[in-house]
């Protein structure tokens, strides 16, 4: 039976923008495991109450339930050791955790206020109310104020990508010659933005842009074909 | 025959502060390879001319010469595969390159202007002149101006360590249960500062401080015993 994945959706059921869900979808494709996604919205806590918490991604694989994208990645790696590796060994698994923390703190932390009103624009009214209340509490300002001066923060955001840009002088992917978990993690932040916002985060001559293009092409263009913008 | 390592020294021959040389020294200890260091100063380009370039670390291992800390790490991993691994597999090697780029761009980029005049203070007059001329060109201001307002930049520097701090909730070292190459790379930046400056980069209750203490203890306190400050 295919693995089931509860996947965050916008007002349109096929707009799937969660970066954490994208990590899992690409990890499942990497492992070549069949899966079916189930659209889910922020306020539908009851529909994933079986997981004992209120966020996606959640997967059900036969009798096994796992939530949290990192927990899902390590579960898949251990449950399907004969499939292509997400981590490339113990060292890659350990640093794969650091990449999650770098992507979330440095990359997502920069992107979040630049697209937060665009996320809101793609939700239905009930989810908009939930999203606005919870995110404005985090931001300490309105979604529109946070996003309003994004141009002034773009150069600083691009500077946080310097380590990735420098690494790309040496190898085509974070995971080396081929993409794997660390690439999916960092890419998922750009894919989140792409699904929800026309804002151009990367200059076309940026090596990070070329790397993102390579990720968009993977798995028959899985990420490129997703409903979103061509930013 | 022991591996020879040309190792940057201050006016005092035993003050060895180069972060790139520290990475190599800890990698050599990790591999349990005997080595002898040769003190070297910035302006002694002629003494390492045999390497075809002008910076340390340079190692000579029998008939083999290698320069650049990343090149040395990959050389040691490949030349001594039966010794403890620096990378923990292909995934760890690939991400080990990213860690170099993160440590150098984000961590060292933050530390450099905060200790640059302290580095200068530990050099002999000829090396001071070289260091001042080359570093002031990079900084676009005097060493003293760069270091002068370091207190105002300390909070931002500590914020760049957020990914490391978050990772430490999950595991004791970047490399997982035991320290390896990625830990030596990031630690080397703190060890550089420690060898040359009394400035306190980390708060005592910071998990990164506790991680640094664990690194200082490794290999019979190799890094802790080095001439420096207790910062």
Position A171 scores a pLDDT of 98
Which domains are delineated in chain A? 3-79 (3.40.30.10), 90-221 (1.20.1050.10)
The CA distance from A173 to A152, in Å, is: 29
Looking at the partner chain, which of B105, B160, B167 has a beta carbon nearest the beta carbon of A166? B105
- A167 CB neighbours in chain B (<8 A) are 97-98, 101
Position A165 confidence tier, pLDDT thresholds 50, 70, 90: very high
Predicted TM-score of the model (pTM): 0.97
pLDDT at A182: 98
10-residue averages of pLDDT along chain B (231 residues): 96 98 98 98 98 98 97 98 98 98 97 98 98 97 97 97 98 98 98 98 98 98 95 68
Sheet holding A64-67, edge to edge: A35-40, A3-8, A58-61, A64-67
Question: Which pair of tokens denotes residue B157?
Answer: 């520097």
Q: Which of B97, B106, B173 is the closest to A170 by Cβ?
A: B97
CA–CA gap between residue A128 and residue A106 (Å, rounded): 26
Asked if A163 and B92 come within 8 Å (Cβ–Cβ), the reply is: no
Tell me the mean pLDDT in the region A181-210.
Answer: 98
Q: What is the DSSP string of B87-126?
A: SSSHHHHHHHHHHHHHIIIIIIHHHHHHHHHHHHHTS-HH
Of B87, B104, B167, the CB nearest to A98: B167
Among the partner-chain residues A88, A101, A163, the one whose CB lies closest to the CB of B91 is A88
- What's the pLDDT at A1? 80
Task: Report the 10 Å Cβ neighbour count for B201.
Answer: 24
For chain A, what percent of residues have pLDDT higher than 70?
100
Q: How high is the pLDDT of residue A231?
A: 67
Look at A91 and B180 and tell me if their CB atoms are within 8 Å: yes
Residue B32, by phi and psi: left (phi above 0), alpha (psi -120 to 50) or beta?
left
Report whether pLDDT(A115) > 70.
yes
B85 contacts on A by Cβ (under 8 Å): 91
Based on C-alpha coordinates, what's the Rg of chain A? 17
What is the interface pTM, i.e. ipTM, of the complex? 0.96
pLDDT given at position B1: 80
The alpha carbon of residue B73 is apart from the nearest alpha carbon of chain A, in Å, by 15
CB B17 within 8 A of CB B10: yes
What are the backbone dihedrals phi and psi of residue B3, each rounded to the nearest 5 degrees, phi first?
Answer: -65, 135
Q: What sign has the CA pseudo-torsion B196, B198, B201, B203? A: positive
Best of B86, B91, B93, B109 to mutate (most A CBs within 10 Å, chain A) = B91
Q: Do B99 and A98 touch (CB under 8 A)?
A: yes
Is B96 in contact with A93 (Cβ distance < 8 A)?
no
């Amino acid at each position: 039976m295919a693995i089931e994945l509860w996947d965050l959706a916008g007002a349109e059921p096929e707009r799937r923008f969660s970066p954490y869900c994208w990590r899992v979808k690409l990890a499942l494709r990497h492992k070549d495991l069949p899966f079916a996604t189930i659209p889910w919205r922020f306020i539908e806590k009851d529909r994933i109450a079986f997981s004992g918490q209120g966020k996606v991604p959640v997967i059900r694989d036969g009798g096994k339930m796992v939530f949290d994208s990192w927990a899902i990645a390590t579960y898949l790696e251990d449950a399907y050791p004969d499939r292509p590796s997400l981590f490339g060994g113990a060292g890659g698994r350990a640093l794969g955790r650091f990449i999650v923390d770098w992507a979330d703190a440095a990359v997502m932390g920069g992107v979040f206020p630049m697209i937060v009103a665009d996320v809101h624009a793609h939700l239905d009214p009930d989810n908009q109310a939930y999203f606005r209340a919870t995110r404005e509490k985090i931001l300490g300002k309105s979604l529109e104020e946070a996003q309003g001066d994004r141009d002034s923060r773009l150069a600083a955001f691009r500077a946080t990508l310097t380590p990735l840009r420098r690494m790309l002088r040496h190898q085509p992917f974070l995971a080396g010659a081929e993409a794997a978990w660390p690439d999916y993690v960092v890419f998922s932040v750009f894919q989140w933005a792409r699904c929800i916002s026309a804002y151009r985060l990367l200059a076309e001559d940026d090596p990070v842009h070329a790397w993102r293009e390579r990720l968009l092409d993977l798995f028959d263009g899985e990420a490129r074909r997703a409903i979103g913008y061509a930013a």
